Amino acid sequence: MESTRSDFQGTDAATNPLSILYQDDYLIAIDKPAGLLVHRTKLDARETRFAMQLLRDQVGFRVYPIHRLDKPTSGVLLFATSSENAQILSNVFAERAVDKTYQAVVRGWTDEEGRIDYPLKEIRDRTTDGKARVDKPAQEAVSSFRSIAKCELSNPVGRYSTARYTFVEITPETGRKNQIRRHFKHVFHPIIGDRKFGDRAHNAFFREALDIDRMLLAATGLSFTHPWTHEPISIRKPDPFPKSVRSLFPSLGKTHI
């Protein structure tokens, strides 16, 4: 490891420790809470808590994020224990040698399974406006999914007399910015709680009637060959959402996910 110093210990790490899903000499995986940024960014300059710094304070040495999750997305987030290890792990991700799984609750009833093959153009923001090419063509973006459970609530939302939702498992084949969120908006099944790409009426229903105020998208699994031990590694986050979400889908208790 690059550092094993314990001079990073902080109050936040002691009182609100992050949940560590896997740890060895080379990498650490945590369960990132929804609403927590991975690292500092100009897009949210007022934020003061970041997964990278919190984990550093908790374990006592510097850590290096290998990929990112959007702030409202929870779940499996991988860090390396040194900059050298980070380069090796980043190459594994760049070579698409990592299988990723996500779970989400979306508006409406989806097909039992499907594959969304819809290229995405780069999203420009305050940190990339000066670098992004306006004429850059859309990039390949593919997401596969399967329906795990469905429900219909007797609550009128929007122009419908009832509200239908699907609990889906998603396997992204590419890793574009906001890919899953944009893909499910594209197929008219936006993710519940997504304030950027979602449905305002259904988001409000979950927030006001069900007291669920978060985006219902979670990274639930990473599988790859360990670059150092060469053994298969599978990091999982079961039950990514509160019981109040799972209770909407009675069949979840009978379904292996």
Task: Give me the active site residues, please.
Answer: 70
Residue type (1 letter), 49: R
Contact status, residue 233 vs residue 225, Cβ threshold 8 Å = yes
Helix (H, G, I), strand (E, B) or coil at 68: coil
Contact 165, 150 (CB under 8 A): yes
3-class DSSP state for residue 240? coil
DSSP secondary structure of 165-221: EEEEEEEESS--TTHHHHHHHHTT-PBTT-TTTS-HHHHHHHHHTS---S--EEEEE
By C-alpha distance, which of 3, 42, 32 is closest to 102?
32
Residue 121 amino acid letter: K
Q: Which residues contact 87 (CB under 8 A, 6 or more apart)?
A: none
Give the DSSP letter of residue 43.
Answer: G
Coil, strand or helix at 245: helix
Contacts of 131 (CB under 8 A, 6+ apart): none
